[in-house]
Amino acid sequence: MSAVVTAQDRLQLQRALELAEGGRGRVSPNPLVGAILARQGEVIGEGFHAELGGLHAEVAAIHECRARGLDPAGSTLYVTLEPCAHHGRQPPCTEAILEARIARVVIASEDPSEKASGRGPGILRDEGLEVEVVGGPEAAAARLLNQAFRKHARIGRPLVIAKSALSLDGRVATTGGDSRWISGEASRRLAHRWRAESDAVCVGIGTALADDPLLTAREPGAVRQPTRVVFDSEARLPLSSKLVESIDAAPLAVIARPAAPAERIEALKASGALVIVCDGDPAGRVAGALAELGRRGLTSLLLEGGPTLTGAFLDASEVDELRLFVAPIVIGGAGASPVAGGTGAATITDATRALAMEWERSDGDLLIRARLREW
Q: Which residues bind ligand AOF (CB under 6 A)?
A: 27, 30-31, 33, 49, 56-58, 81, 84, 88-90, 93, 111, 113, 116
Out of Zn ion, ligand AOF, none, what residue 365 binds, judged by CB under 5 to 8 A for its kind, is none
| Shortest CB 269 distance to ligand AOF, Å | 30
| Shortest CB 139 distance to ligand AOF, Å | 16
Give me the sheet containing 356-362, strands edge to edge: 274-277, 252-256, 227-231, 200-204, 300-303, 159-166, 321-326, 365-371, 356-362
Region from 36-44, 51-59, 68-76, 233-241 binding Zn ion, contact rule CB under 5 A = 51-59
Nearer to ligand AOF, 16 or 340 (CB): 16
| Shortest CB 140 distance to Zn ion, Å | 22
Burial of 57 (0-12, 13-18, 19+ CB in 10 A): buried
CB 250 within 8 A of CB 225: yes
Residue 93 in the binding site for Zn ion (CB under 5 A)? yes
Choose which of 20, 35, 84, 202 interacts with Zn ion (CB under 5 A): 84
| Shortest CB 111 distance to ligand AOF, Å | 5
| Shortest CB 115 distance to Zn ion, Å | 11
Residues near 287 by Cβ (< 8 Å), separated by ≥ 6? 316, 318
Out of Zn ion, ligand AOF, none, what residue 352 binds, judged by CB under 5 to 8 A for its kind, is none
Helical segments of 68-135, H only: 93-99, 119-126
Nearer to ligand AOF, 51 or 169 (CB): 51
In angstroms, how far is CA 139 from the centroid of its own chain? Answer: 18
Nearer to Zn ion, 116 or 275 (CB): 116
Out of Zn ion, ligand AOF, none, what residue 49 binds, judged by CB under 5 to 8 A for its kind, is ligand AOF
Contacts 24+ apart (CB under 8 A), 58-65: 58/33, 58/83, 58/93, 58/96, 58/97, 59/90, 59/93, 59/96, 60/35, 61/35, 61/36, 61/37, 62/37, 62/96, 62/97, 62/100, 62/102, 65/37
| Residue whose Cβ sits closest to ligand AOF | 88
Choose which of 26, 49, 56, 143 interacts with Zn ion (CB under 5 A): 56
Nearer to Zn ion, 57 or 273 (CB): 57
Catalytic residue, candidates 58, 132, 292, 321: 58
Q: Which residue type sits at 69?
A: G
| Shortest CB 211 distance to ligand AOF, Å | 36
Query: Using CA atoms, how far apart are residues 115 and 320, in angstroms rounded to an integer?
Result: 25
Out of Zn ion, ligand AOF, none, what residue 246 binds, judged by CB under 5 to 8 A for its kind, is none
Query: Using CA atoms, how far apart are residues 167 and 278, in angstroms rounded to an integer?
Result: 34
Q: Is 321 a catalytic residue?
A: no
Burial of 249 (0-12, 13-18, 19+ CB in 10 A): exposed
Nearer to ligand AOF, 57 or 302 (CB): 57
The catalytic site residues sit at 58
The residue ranges that bind Zn ion (CB under 5 A) are 56, 84, 93
